[in-house]
Amino acid sequence: MNPFSYSKPSDVTQAISLAGPATRFIAGGTNLLDLMKENVARPEHLIDITGLPLGEIRETSSGGLLIGALVSNADLAWNPQIEQRYPLVSQALLAGASPQLRNMASTGGNLLQRTRCYYFYDATVPCNKREPGSGCPARDGLNRIHAILGASDECVATHPSDLCVALAALDAVVHVEGRTGERTIEFADFHRLPGNQPERDNQLADDELITAVELPARGFASNSNYLKIRDRASYAFALVSVAAALEMDGDIVTDARLALGGVAHKPWRDQEAEALLIGKPASIEHFRAVADAVLRHAQPLEHNGFKIELARRAIIRALGDAAAGGQA
Mean pLDDT, residues 71-75 taken together: 98
pTM: predicted TM-score of the whole model, two decimal places: 0.97
Mean pLDDT, residues 148-172 taken together: 98
309 in a domain, yes or no?
yes
DSSP state at residue 301: -
CA distance 226 to 95: 9
Mean pLDDT, residues 184-201 taken together: 98
51 in a domain, yes or no?
no
186 in a domain, yes or no?
no
The CATH number that applies at residue 277 is: 3.30.390.50
CA distance 307 to 222: 29
259 in a domain, yes or no?
yes
**Number of folded domains in the chain?**
1
Q: Is beta strand 252-261 parallel, antiparallel or unpaired with respect to 224-229? A: unpaired
pLDDT digits (tens, 9 = 90+) for 255-307: 999 999 999 999 999 999 999 999 999 999 999 999 999 999 999 999 999 99
Q: How confident is the model at residue 234 (pLDDT cuts 50, 70, 90)?
A: confident
Q: In the predicted model, what is the mean pLDDT of the chain?
A: 97
298 in a domain, yes or no?
yes
Instruction: Specify the amino acid at residue 60.
Output: T
Q: How confident is the model at residue 326 (pLDDT cuts 50, 70, 90)?
A: confident
Q: Would you say residue 328 has pLDDT above 80? A: no
10 in a domain, yes or no?
no
DSSP state at residue 115: P
**Run of H or E including 163:** helix 163-169
Expressed as residue numbers, the domain containing 305 is: 224-323
318 in a domain, yes or no?
yes
3-class SS at 78? Answer: coil
pLDDT > 70 in the chain, percent: 99
Q: How confident is the model at residue 102 (pLDDT cuts 50, 70, 90)?
A: very high
Mean pLDDT, residues 196-207 taken together: 97
pLDDT digits (tens, 9 = 90+) for 164-189: 999 999 999 999 999 999 999 999 99
152 in a domain, yes or no?
no
pLDDT computed for residue 327 by the predictor: 56
pLDDT computed for residue 160 by the predictor: 96
In this structure, the number of other CB atoms found within 10 A of the CB of residue 13 comes to 10
All residues at 6 or more sequence positions from 16 whose CB lies less than 8 Å from its CB, including other chains: 177, 178, 179, 207, 208, 209
Length of the chain counted residue by residue:
328
Mean pLDDT, residues 143-159 taken together: 98
Q: Would you say residue 108 has pLDDT above 70? A: yes
